[in-house]
Structure 1
Amino acid sequence: MTRNDLMAERLKAVQQRIARACEQAGRSPDSVTLLPVSKTFPVPCVQQAMELGLHRFAENRMQDLRDKSQALAIHRLDWVMIGHLQTNKVREAAHYASEVQSLDRLALAQALQQRLLLEERQLDVLIQVKTSREPTKHGVAVDQLMEFADQLSDFSQLRVQGLMTIAEHHADEQRVRACFAQLRDLRDRLQARGHTNITRLSMGMSGDLELAIAEGATEVRVGSAIFGERL
């Protein structure tokens, strides 16, 4: 079996997992988008994924997103930044990223706004929320989210689409699922507050996508289950 065949098999298995999870949750499979995470995988792996019909990829490091975007520029792919974004990297983010899912502080919003004005473009963003108690996780604190979302209304170049989170890494599924449930509740509260543009929930990865879908995920971020073991 070729590497292309292996990836095709893995991708099909992920799509089947999503479909089953949606069925169990009483949802349409079309209500959940798959975001392939190509971080740590080289350009040839992305090209293999492209041959399978994928055209939107997520990266964890701005340098990797930039390099892959440049290498595959003729294909007009969409690149999504999902990792912690430093303010000194906003120039590249504003130029190469089609979306940033890790907006987590006002200073970053301000830096992006200024650079996007120079680029004369708008950028889709998701607010990353810290639903986990793990100190290594990034994100806006739950008790600061409402105020932060209100402040973002002043940034004309940022199109706030929804929320993103990384659940707690724990063997207890209830603790993992609680992170996803909290994000859904926060989305609903923001909409009730008037932020009707905040609809998307990017949550769930290779190991916990079923739990995320059960709690309302509109997008799951999947890397190793598609590309194989991290390189």
Structure 2
Amino acid sequence: MSNKTSELADRAARVREDLADAALRAGRKAEDVTLVAVSKLHPASAIRELAGWGQVDFGENYVQESMAKQEELADLDVKWHFIGGLQSNKAKFVAGNFELVHSVDSRKLAQALHKKASSLGVVQDILLQVNIAEEVQKSGISVENLPELAESVMEMEGVRLVGLMTMPPFFNDPEGARPVFARLRELREALEKQLGKPLPHLSMGMTGDFVPAVEEGATLVRIGTRIFGQRPPR
């Protein structure tokens, strides 16, 4: 066991402890929240080390980098999440290769994933990314246009809508993000009624604000820096 391996495992364990505490405060079970370790720009060797300590879910942002890692780590029993911005012309590389795509924000992208998944004979699970704070520099469908996008996605057999994702503005105090997380939960509840189907997942919360996210109902938290340390420059 190397020091690096121990350090990664210890960091992940501390995150899980904080995650479990937040879940219990909200009257939830720790196992209802999945820790997605965001491994973008970190080497495949770090993923292999952390997987050896029981981490299952890993989040990647860049198609080419992620595909190379998946090939190198094909022997591992892990689940890959695509969490970054995705152009529709790259959807063909993503459909069928990820457990979950968190960042669908347009009909065009959903259709591209549907088309590729259908050609492979699979169904790709997706989340709709919502830009609740309407930040111009961030991806995501507007709150206003979310119901229409959700309805159109429901007509596509190659994708399965299972929930929502958001990225709040940065706040020095993580409590500042709480209203955004609460709003995403409310939007999910309204969509479930509109669509007449359960949407089990809320992907929200990162290193700096995952505690209020869990308290507000997150089922997937995306933690990178606190586990892997600072990302190397791309």
TM range (shorter): over 0.9
Q: What count of residue pairs does the alignment treat as equivalent?
A: 231
The residue identity in structure 2 corresponding to 1:189 is A
Residues in 2 aligned to 1:174 and 1:210: alpha-carbon distance in whole angstroms: 9
CA shift for structure 1 position 158: 0.4
Give the letter for the 2:176 counterpart: R
Q: 1:137 — aligned with what?
A: 138
**Partner SS, residue 132 of structure 1:** coil
Q: How does 1:172-211 map to 2 (within 5 A)?
A: 172-211=173-212
Match in the other structure for 1:84: 85
Q: In structure 2, what is the equivalent of residue 59 of structure 1?
A: 60
Structure 1 residues 217 and 95: CA distance shift in structure 2, 3 A: closer
Equivalent residue, structure 2, for 1:22: 23
1:7-46 Cα offsets, whole Å, 9 max, x none, are 1110111011101111222221122111111111011111
Query: Match for residue 101 of structure 2?
Result: 100
Q: SS in structure 2 opposite 1:151?
A: helix
**SS of the residue 2:221 aligns to:** strand
Distance in 2 between residues matched to 1:198 and 1:61, nearest whole Å? 26
Aligned equivalents of 2:19 and 2:182: distance in 1?
18
Q: Secondary structure at the match of 2:155?
A: coil
Identity within the alignment, %: 36
For structure 2, list consecutive stretches of 5 or more residues without a partner in the other structure: none
Say which SS state the counterpart of residue 195 (structure 2) adopts. coil
2-structure distance, mates of 1:124, 1:181: 23
Name whichever of 23-32 and 181-190 sits farther off. 23-32
**1:72 maps to what in 2?**
73
Q: Is the 2:127–2:163 contact (alpha carbons within 8 Å) kept by the matching residues of 1? A: yes
Deviation beyond 3 Å, 4+ runs, structure 1:
172-175
CA RMSD after TM alignment: 1.4
Does the 8 Å contact 1:69/1:77 carry over to 2?
no
Q: Which runs of 5+ in 1 are unaligned?
A: none
TM superposition shift of 1:226:
1.2
**TM-score, scaled relative to structure 1:** 0.95
- TM-score, normalization by structure 2: 0.94
